[in-house]
Amino acid sequence: MSVLLAVLWKDLLVEWRSRDRVAAMGVFSLLVVVMFQFAAPPGASPESRAHLPGLLWVAWLFAAILGLNRSFALELENDAWAGLALAPADRGWIYLGKALAALVLLLAVQLASAVAFGLAFAVPLAPVAAPLAGVTLLGALGISAIGTLFAAVAARTQYREAMLPLLLLPLLVPVLLGAVRATAALLAQEPLPWPPLRLLLVTDAVFLIVSFLCFEYVLDE
């Protein structure tokens, strides 16, 4: 447990001193949204507005991948990786520390870009803020949970940054599916539907357990 807190504190402190990961993720997620305005202008019709939740989550997903790549690229510098691997503790806790740090950073980016998104598209987010925050938390948890595991894998392959999206995107579809459907229902002022929520909960639990158990085999030397 103390290992978890130590790793979490270290990652957040490193980020607080440079703030480059959050800045890169935030600017990138805004860029994705802006690029979509040129690629497929949503217009004002209700049908085109139905795509907004998907657009938002894709932007967050890409931003998360950008941040996750840094998560372990950081450890490769100055051989910090060896320090982590040599820590006399269950590596599952190291994993949880890294994953929680990734989650905190992703949530910070999501909060900022959700506000910008709500203003830019005139989406009233305030009335559904509480359930939306819950859905966002569940989605971000799934992304960080499995993302941290495979960020560690991708960092040790030949193609590093290019490998992570290849590994992660197909696995994250259940998270994306659940999060987009729940968000779409909330933005349409409907009650929160249970099936996508259940999908998110189950996927998060599976990803957390698998990653907690498997991280030991990924972090070596």
Partner 1 sequence: MSDPAGETGLDALARRAVRPTGWLLALLLPLWLFVAAQAPLDSVQGVVQKILYVHVPCAFAAYLGFACTAVGGALYLWRREEHWDRFAASSAEVGVLFCALVIATGPIWARASWGRWWSWDLRLTVTLLLFLVYLSYLLLRSFTEGSERTARFAAVYGIAGLAIVPLNYLAIDLAGGRSIHPENLQRGSLGPGMRAPFWLGVGTALLAFAHLLARRVELAALGERAAARAAAAEAGEAP
Among 43, 46, 88, 170, contact with partner 1 (rule: CB under 8 A) = 170
Distance CA 182, CA 200 (A): 9
Question: Helix 194-218 to helix 173-187 angle, to the nearest 10 degrees?
Answer: 150
Find the binding residues for partner 1 in span 8-67 (CB under 8 A).
none
Q: Which long-range contacts (CB under 8 A, 24 or more apart) does 160-167 make?
A: 160/69, 160/73, 161/69, 161/73, 164/65, 164/68, 164/69, 165/65
Choose, by CB under 8 A, the member of 140, 151, 153, 187 that binds partner 1: 153
Task: Report the alpha-carbon distance of residue 195 to residue 115 in Å, rounded.
Answer: 27
Q: Is 167 in the site for partner 1 (CB under 8 A)?
A: yes
Site string for partner 1, 196-215 (x = CB under 8 A): ---x---x--xx--xx--x-
Residue 96 as a binder of partner 1 (CB under 8 A): the answer is: no
Task: State how far the Cα of 39 lies from the Cα of 141, in Å rounded to an integer.
Answer: 29
163 near partner 1, judged by CB under 8 A: yes
Single out the residue of 107, 171, 192, 201 in contact with partner 1 (rule: CB under 8 A).
171
Q: What is the CA radius of gyration of the chain?
A: 18
Minimum distance from CB of 56 to partner 1 (Å)? Answer: 20
Q: Cβ closer to partner 1: 113 or 183?
A: 183
The binder of partner 1 chosen from 166, 179, 182, 192 (CB under 8 A) = 166
Residue 171 beta carbon to partner 1: minimum distance, rounded to whole angstroms: 6
For 97-153, the DSSP string reads HHHHHHHHHHHHHHHHHHHHHHHHTT---GGGHHHHHHHHHHHHHHHHHHHHHHHHH
Please state the closest distance from residue 212 (CB atom) to partner 1, in A: 12
Q: Which two tokens stand for residue 131?
A: 């359930």
130/214 Cα distance (integer angstroms): 33
156 is a contact residue toward partner 1 (CB under 8 A): yes
Where does this chain bind partner 1 (CB under 8 A)? 146, 149-150, 153, 156-159, 163, 166-167, 170-171, 173-174, 177, 195, 199, 203, 206-207, 210-211, 214, 217-218, 220
